[in-house]
Amino acid sequence: MKFLLSINYIVWLVVSAIFFAVGEFLSKKFALGPKVIYVLLILGAYCLGTLAWLPAILQKNSLTIVGTMWSVMTLVTTVLIGILIFREKLSAVGVIGVITAVIAVILLSIA
């Protein structure tokens, strides 16, 4: 347990967000061509993402800050996957929403 807590909570959040992003990527691949293997990989990615989340919340013990930071990290990675990999478009309102979310994390981190 000490090893898990020796790693900064932000590192755990990034790891968790990466696993979630992999799950999102695989979800889109599943939507484009449903296969059972995608379902298994999606479940694995989300499970590992949740396990990486646990040391972060244990270490920081602030759901408000950690939860918001994780949400924005996953939001940004999901948007980037959609735009860069799957060539999806983001509206002006969507861009404003992402920017506002990032500002929210910065403000919560300062508080």
pLDDT of residue 101: 84
Give residue 90's domain range: 2-110
What tens digit of pLDDT does each residue of 8-27 get?
Answer: 999 999 999 999 999 999 99
Assign residue 91 a region: left if phi > 0, alpha if psi is -120 to 50, beta otherwise? beta
Whole-model pTM: value is 0.82
pLDDT > 90 fraction of the chain, expressed in percent and rounded:
67
Please state the rounded mean pLDDT for residues 26-34: 97
Q: Determine the number of helices (DSSP H) and then strands (DSSP E) in the chain.
A: 5, 0
Closest alpha carbon to 96 in 77, 79, 74 = 79
| Overall domain count for the chain | 1
